[in-house]
A and B are shown apart, each in its own frame.
Chain A
């Protein structure tokens, strides 16, 4: 099951491109082109390499960015939804709650209080540390939420 490091390096390039522009659309065709592999090969190889299908990876990055904007700016939630790549506010709110277990508004008020004390880490690394831990499919999570608190929320600083 060992993947060729040369292929992995090219898959990393596609992951980097999603990181850099997570608000853009990243159909498999586009990602496969970045990695210079076929579409079928790309989706399979990416999941094998990074443990997450490419689309799901993209969602975690969008939520991460949205969380950062909720924390660090006064932009409206609608504005943040559109800036981070969602076509509708409804989809944004639903996906956000599915992934983090909280509403965008709750994250905004909660993280304001917790944002102190991170000044010694580069901001980009802080942002990675806040990355949502999306190990299960959003739909799967939706089924599982029956009032139970979601354990896969963002790692908040105490």
Chain B
């Protein structure tokens, strides 16, 4: 695919912490991790989704002024960022595995209208829905 969305970024409070969470717990891979002075461009990738990168960025200089960065850190910590959805083949199995790794679940797996979904947060406060849909299992 030559056209389409390549990177979508999340704000995280600490990039090392986020890296450990998304790679060691969720099973993503590091795609790019480069620094320029204090700035760090860090993206990870789902192993089944090579054309998409999830950026893990900290709000701050040189991109943002200190006050804006502070506001964004507060928004992330309050869980006010937009919803994120992760598709999985088996929601209950993924839940059990992630819970055992210490992932903070906000909702246990629930069956609804033919799919199973659960909710968890990353350490920063970003909220994920983890969905196993009937469509995904063909």
Nearest Cβ distance between residue A60 and chain B, in whole angstroms? 16
Determine whether A153 belongs to the interface, using a CB cutoff of 8 Å to chain B. no
Mark A103-145 against chain B: 1 for CB-CB distance below 8 A, else 0. Answer: 0000000000000000100111100000000000000000000
Contact among B79, B119, B124, B125 for A124, CB-based, below 8 A: B119
Determine whether A12 belongs to the interface, using a CB cutoff of 8 Å to chain B. yes
Determine whether A3 belongs to the interface, using a CB cutoff of 8 Å to chain B. yes
Determine whether A20 belongs to the interface, using a CB cutoff of 8 Å to chain B. yes
Determine whether B26 belongs to the interface, using a CB cutoff of 8 Å to chain A. no
Determine whether B46 belongs to the interface, using a CB cutoff of 8 Å to chain A. no
The closest CB in chain B to the CB of A49 belongs to: B78
Determine whether B95 belongs to the interface, using a CB cutoff of 8 Å to chain A. no
Q: How many A-B residue pairs have CB under 8 A?
A: 52
A50→B104 CA distance, assembly (Å): 20
A123 touches B113 (CB 8 A): yes
Nearest Cβ distance between residue B119 and chain A, in whole angstroms? 7
B77 touches A16 (CB 8 A): no
Given contacts A2-B70, A9-B124, A9-B125, contact A122 B77 (CB under 8 A): no
Determine whether A39 belongs to the interface, using a CB cutoff of 8 Å to chain B. no
A8 touches B78 (CB 8 A): yes
Residues of B in contact, count (CB < 8 Å):
23
A15 touches B79 (CB 8 A): yes
A122→B84 CA distance, assembly (Å): 11
> What A residues does B50 contact at CB under 8 A?
none
Determine whether A155 belongs to the interface, using a CB cutoff of 8 Å to chain B. no
Nearest Cβ distance between residue B12 and chain A, in whole angstroms? 11
Contact among B77, B83, B107, B119 for A8, CB-based, below 8 A: B77
A5 touches B107 (CB 8 A): no
> What A residues does B101 contact at CB under 8 A?
none
Chosen A-B contacts, 21 in total, with CB atoms closer than 8 Å, are: A5-B70, A5-B77, A6-B77, A8-B74, A8-B77, A8-B78, A9-B13, A11-B78, A12-B121, A16-B79, A16-B104, A16-B106, A20-B106, A20-B108, A49-B78, A119-B113, A122-B83, A122-B117, A122-B131, A123-B112, A125-B129
A residues with CB within 8 A of B: 2-3, 5-6, 8-9, 11-13, 15-16, 19-20, 49-50, 119, 122-125
Apart from A5-B74, A6-B77, A122-B131, 6 more pairs, CB < 8 Å: A12-B125, A16-B106, A49-B78, A50-B78, A122-B85, A123-B117
Query: Lowest 6 CB-CB distances: which A-B pairs, in order?
Result: A8-B77, A5-B77, A9-B77, A5-B73, A16-B106, A123-B112
